[in-house]
Structure 1
Amino acid sequence: MSESSKPTPALGDLEVAVLEVTWETPECSAKEVHERIGQPRGISLNTVQSTLERLHRKELLTRSKRGHAYRYTATVERERLIASYIRETLGRFGGDAVSSLAAFVEAVEDIDEASLARLEEELRKRRQGRRDQ
């Protein structure tokens, strides 16, 4: 099964929060993740460790042993994971390009001007990349 055809794993709120930490701080330990999100939420270190292990089994994190602790790194970029969820969701509704585009426009309706400018720039780059091929 190719990487792009693998279903994107379902994620809970804590798993998403842990991924956010690993995107911001590559090679972080369970203790570091716990300090950032576990303590403020009143979650135990064991719960954070279990969440890191689940994300590792889902192949969203890699880990390497450093001393007595594992260090975790995300295996997928934030944007790619989000894009995967969007593609899967749109595909579940028949893949009609016009309806999908309309849904996307609806979803970004309340986006701020700076983000819209970034989106327009990204679209411009993608179009240019296609022309250059």
Structure 2
Amino acid sequence: MGAQAGGRGPRRANGAREAEILDLLHRADGALTPGEVAEALGGELTYSSVVTILTRMHTKGLLTRGPRGRAYAYTPVADDPGLAARRMRSVLDARSDRHDVLARFADGLSEADAELLRRLLGPEQ
């Protein structure tokens, strides 16, 4: 029941696959083609599935790509902290109640994180 059609590996949520591929691309020495990603995943996904996932991630702005031979080679746009920050901005930008979202976020910070944020934002005025 947990296997994909064609005898491939167990099904995973799209977000989990994207995270797995993103991690793989971060650890790579350079850009990877869909074939290289599929090979690095040990054949868990078909080539066309990898192309679909990489294309979706490129459309979301998570990856850049450039031509290599007859395929594209993909690299992450940012490192892991940069991607987390981008997601946070995306959530904030999608809300009309920015003040309330930021206030709730700040209220939920630990004292150490609140102090770090104060230092990052600059000296008190």
Residues 87-133 of structure 1, C-alpha deviations (whole Å, 9 max, x = no match): 55578682253x4245343xxxxxxxxxx9xx8xxx49x837835xx
CA distance in 2, matches of 1:102, 1:87: 18
Higher relative helix content:
1
Q: Larger relative contact order (C-alpha < 8 A, sep ≥ 6)? A: 1
Q: How many positions carry a matched residue from both structures?
A: 103
Counterpart selection for 2:87 from 85, 88, 92: 85
What is the SS of the residue equivalent to 2:101? Answer: coil
Matches within 5 A, 1:1-133: 12-25=15-28, 26-37=30-41, 39=43, 42-87=44-89, 94-97=100-103, 99-105=104-110, 123=116, 127=119, 130-131=122-123
AA in 1 matched with 2:21: V
Q: What's the Cα RMSD here? A: 3.2
AA in 1 matched with 2:108: A
- Structure number with larger C-alpha Rg: 2
Residues 35-71 of structure 1, C-alpha deviations (whole Å, 9 max, x = no match): 22352xx221211111011111222211111222221
AA in 2 matched with 1:95: V
1:108 aligned residue: none
AA in 2 matched with 1:82: A
- Offset of 1:74 from its aligned partner? 1.3
Given the two structures, how large is their TM-score scaled by the length of structure 1? 0.57
Give % identity: 30
What is the SS of the residue equivalent to 1:80? Answer: helix
- The gaps in structure 2 that reach 5 residues or longer are 1-13
CA 1:84/1:128 → structure 2, altered by over 3 Å: closer, same or farther? Answer: closer
CA distance in 1, matches of 2:85, 2:72: 28
AA in 2 matched with 1:32: E
